[in-house]
């Protein structure tokens, strides 16, 4: 795994190009501390930082094909590169290294843009085609690896992280206030925009072509999940899942350096670790809080002992947590208020002291139906058959009733799925945003944004619609964003065996009843895991990563830090400070549970001053 930056040369001298690209690459040195190298010609400038994992002596980038005059830089790992290489060798291609990088370069020559459909792995790459005068770039199917670009005033700048683009002298850094409502509602945006004006994400499962002649960019989606449900027995399902996961773990273990594995208290990381330990010696890494009621480190220790795997754990304190926030938000590139990012940062830091690669369990929930909120699909799928006029009438009646069991169900039951989706108004509701934002013109109704995604869902049953939505939003913009940034902040490669093309092919065939049941999530996956894990491990309820943050906020010094942030110039510009003060006051007095709201705004402010101070 590595990091790269680059730009289309619009008239800088060679000496200036050397200075600019080095400054850009140095900004992401944490992604690749092992090596640096550059490519410069009259039209294109590349900069690369390498974290050496495979073919340590070779595979240097940017990699140039002198015959085709194409240059490649690539971040990630291709797990089927040996099969693609064998195919290309049969076609007459000759290879000079053992790296997956060269396979992409030769593969592009043979397959063209369709090389992306051949690749199995996590990747973001760009290929400069000098003869065609165009830049081709792509991002993997799931969005595991990041890729950003700046396009304005005839300039085109790109790289693995936003911070790597910012040193470019013609890039005009500016805060994008238009997506404040998205963030304050859902904690992220649902499209390619970022909090930096004119800087965009290359979306997961997409490739782009930038024509340097006319300075035009086109993007193409090459992957979108489909769900070809199959009629099969549970035994057939578990056999296919087991085979796919074992094969994926085997592929993800390929490295010329030692590989470890993260271990939480959940079934996903336990299943990955157990499967990996059956294939090679491996060690695990865990993190928890000093407050025992929020920590499950005892589980990690017990489980690791039971499968004879060494476990290294770390406990973090409130001071550890708070002191790390500025650095973490800097590495995120965009504000992310999910508190679980902080322990992830510390477990990555701990692992990086002993290994260069770790496996992790991200992605199982989105593929196999793991979130507790998916259980709502069972009653709502039945209730939706009730005529809408009746559901609307019952919702109106329920709204007038005092708090009671079933009120929330009846109120939400009159809404279409895009409005019922829990991410809408997850932090601040529309009316709350109107109170918070000084300029109410920045507020907007986000239902149409979510509706666009739900309408594209290929399956029209509620569980698959919810999974499809999370696949396109929560997974890349929260789960994978923090996984990549927190691991790379510590120069650690994080691999996710569940997010594999072949695993997804199997998961996509499962009907709803084998994803969720009355009080159980990930039904088929848990039954598969139970073949290797004890029943109490395989069927352990999903907890997420509980945090003592709600209590920490009440601590006098932490409260003071937050209140100080609420009165900065940025906060004064965009927010009603009296409203923020009341949120904090009510929370600390125990009147309301405002942790999520407080932390969302505080995180945004801290992030802002990492980039715009």
Residue reference for tokens 């991410």: 423
Q: How far apart are CA 107 and CA 93, in angstroms?
A: 9
Residues 145, 148, 154, CA angle at the centre, nearest 5°? 155
Q: How far is CA 87 from CA 80, 92, 111, 125, in A?
A: 11, 9, 12, 21
Cis peptide before 62 (omega within 30 of 0): yes
Please check whether residue 560 is in contact with residue 600, taking contact to mean a CB–CB distance below 8 angstroms. no
Q: Could you say which of 2, 8, 209, 588 is catalytic?
A: 2
- Residue 444 to residue 191: CA distance in whole angstroms: 15
Closest listed residue to residue 138, CA positions, set 83, 212, 88, 78: 78
Compute how many other C-beta atoms are within 10 angstroms of the C-beta atom of residue 439: 11
- The structure tokens listed for 394 are 């019952």
Could you give phi then psi for residue 40, rounded to 5 degrees?
-140, 130
3-state SS class at 166: coil
Q: What are phi and psi of 318, to 5 degrees?
A: -60, -40
Q: Is residue 528 a contact partner of residue 248, using CB atoms and an 8 Å limit?
A: no
Contact 456, 450 (CB under 8 A): no
Secondary structure element (H or E) that encloses residue 18, with its range: helix 14-27
CB atoms under 10 Å from CB of 325, counted, come to 19
The contacts of residue 351 (CB under 8 Å, 6+ apart) are 260, 262, 285, 312, 358, 490, 492
Asked if residue 588 lies in contact with residue 563, where contact means CB atoms within 8 angstroms, the answer is no
Angle between helices 341-352 and 318-332 (to 10 degrees): 90
- Pair 540, 266: CB distance under 8 Å: yes
End-to-end Cα separation, the chain, in angstroms:
31
Q: Give the C-alpha separation, 132 to 213, whole Å.
A: 9
Tell whether residue 361 is among the known ligand binding residues. yes
| 2 a catalytic residue | yes
The C-alpha atoms of residue 60 and residue 150 are separated, in whole angstroms, by 26
The pair phi, psi for residue 287, each rounded to 5°, is -140, 150
Token pair for residue 225? 């999940």
Bridge partners, residue 175, by sequence: 196
- Length of the chain (residues): 613
Residue 606 counted as an annotated binding residue: no
The CA-based diameter of the chain, rounded to the nearest angstrom, is 75
Q: Is 600 annotated as belonging to a binding site?
A: no
Give me the sheet containing 259-262, strands edge to edge: 311-316, 284-289, 259-262, 357-359, 493-495
Check if the beta carbon of residue 30 is closer than 8 Å to that of residue 489.
yes
Residue 202 known to bind ligand: no
Which stretch of DSSP H or E encloses residue 610?
helix 595-611
Contacts of 387 by beta carbon, 8 Å cutoff, 6+ apart: none
Beta bridge partners of 211: 134, 216
Dist CA 239 CA 230 (whole Å): 14
Annotated catalytic sites, by residue? 2
User: Which residues contribute to the annotated binding site for L-glutamine?
Assistant: 100
User: Which residues contribute to the annotated binding site for ATP?
Assistant: 287, 360-361
User: Which residues contribute to the annotated binding site?
Assistant: 100, 287, 360-361
């Amino acid at each position: 795994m590595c990091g790269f930056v680059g730009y289309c040369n619009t008239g800088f001298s060679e000496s200036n190009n050397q200075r600019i690209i080095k400054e850009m690459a140095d900004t992401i040195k944490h992604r690749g501390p092992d090596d640096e190298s550059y490519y410069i010609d009259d039209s294109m400038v590349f900069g690369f930082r390498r974290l050496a994992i495979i073919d340590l002596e070779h595979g240097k980038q940017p990699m140039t094909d002198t015959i085709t005059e194409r240059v490649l830089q690539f971040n990630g790992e291709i797990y089927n590169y040996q099969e693609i290489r064998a195919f290309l060798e049969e076609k007459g291609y000759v290879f000079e290294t053992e790296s997956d990088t060269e396979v992409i370069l030769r593969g592009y020559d043979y397959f063209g843009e369709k090389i992306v459909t051949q690749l199995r792995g996590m990747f973001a790459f760009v290929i400069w085609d000098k003869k065609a005068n165009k830049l081709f770039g792509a991002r993997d199917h799931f969005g595991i690896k990041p890729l950003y670009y700046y396009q304005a005033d005839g300039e085109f700048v790109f790289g693995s992280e936003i911070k790597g683009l910012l040193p470019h002298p013609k890039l005009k850094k500016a805060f994008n206030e238009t997506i404040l409502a998205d963030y304050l509602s859902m904690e992220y945006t649902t499209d390619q925009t970022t909090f930096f004006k004119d800087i965009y994400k290359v979306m997961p499962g997409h490739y782009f072509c930038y024509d340097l002649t006319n300075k035009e960019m086109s993007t193409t989606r090459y992957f979108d999940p489909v769900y070809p449900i199959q009629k099969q027995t549970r035994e057939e399902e578990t056999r296919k899942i087991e085979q796919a996961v074992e094969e994926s773990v085997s592929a993800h273990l390929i490295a010329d350096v030692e590989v470890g594995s993260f271990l939480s208290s959940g079934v996903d990381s336990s299943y990955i670790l157990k499967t990996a330990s059956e294939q090679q010696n491996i060690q695990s890494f865990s993190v928890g809080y000093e407050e025992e009621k929020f920590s499950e480190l005892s589980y990690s220790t017990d489980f690791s002992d039971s499968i004879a795997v060494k476990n290294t754990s770390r406990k973090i304190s409130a001071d550890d947590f708070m002191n790390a926030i500025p650095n973490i938000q800097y590495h995120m590139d965009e504000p992310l208020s999910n508190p679980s990012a902080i322990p992830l940062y510390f477990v990555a830091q701990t692992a990086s002291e002993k290994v260069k690669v770790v496996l992790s369990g991200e992605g199982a929930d989105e593929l196999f139906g793991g979130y507790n909120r998916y259980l709502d699909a069972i009653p709502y799928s039945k209730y939706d058959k009730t005529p809408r006029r009746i559901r609307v009438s019952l919702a109106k009646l329920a709204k007038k009733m005092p708090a009671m069991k079933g009120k929330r169900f009846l109120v939400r039951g009159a809404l279409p799925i895009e409005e019922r989706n829990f991410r809408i108004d997850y932090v601040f509701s529309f009316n709350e945003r109107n109170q918070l934002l000084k300029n109410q013109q920045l507020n907007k109704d986000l239902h149409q944004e979510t509706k666009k995604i739900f309408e594209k869902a290929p399956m029209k049953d509620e569980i698959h619609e919810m999974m499809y939505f999370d696949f396109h939003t929560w997974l890349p913009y929260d789960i994978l964003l923090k996984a990549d940034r927190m691991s790379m902040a510590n120069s650690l490669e994080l691999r996710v065996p569940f997010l594999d093309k072949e695993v997804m092919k199997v998961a996509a065939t499962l009907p709803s009843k084998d994803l969720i049941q009355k009080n159980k999530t990930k039904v088929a996956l848990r039954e598969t895991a139970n073949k290797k894990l004890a029943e109490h491990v395989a069927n352990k309820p999903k907890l997420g990563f509980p945090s003592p943050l709600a209590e920490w906020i009440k601590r006098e010094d932490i409260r003071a830090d937050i209140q100080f942030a609420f009165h900065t110039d940025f906060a004064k510009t965009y927010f009603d400070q009296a409203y923020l003060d009341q949120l904090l006051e009510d929370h600390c007095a125990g009147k309301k549970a405002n942790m999520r709201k407080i932390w969302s705004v505080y995180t945004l402010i801290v992030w802002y001053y990492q980039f715009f101070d």
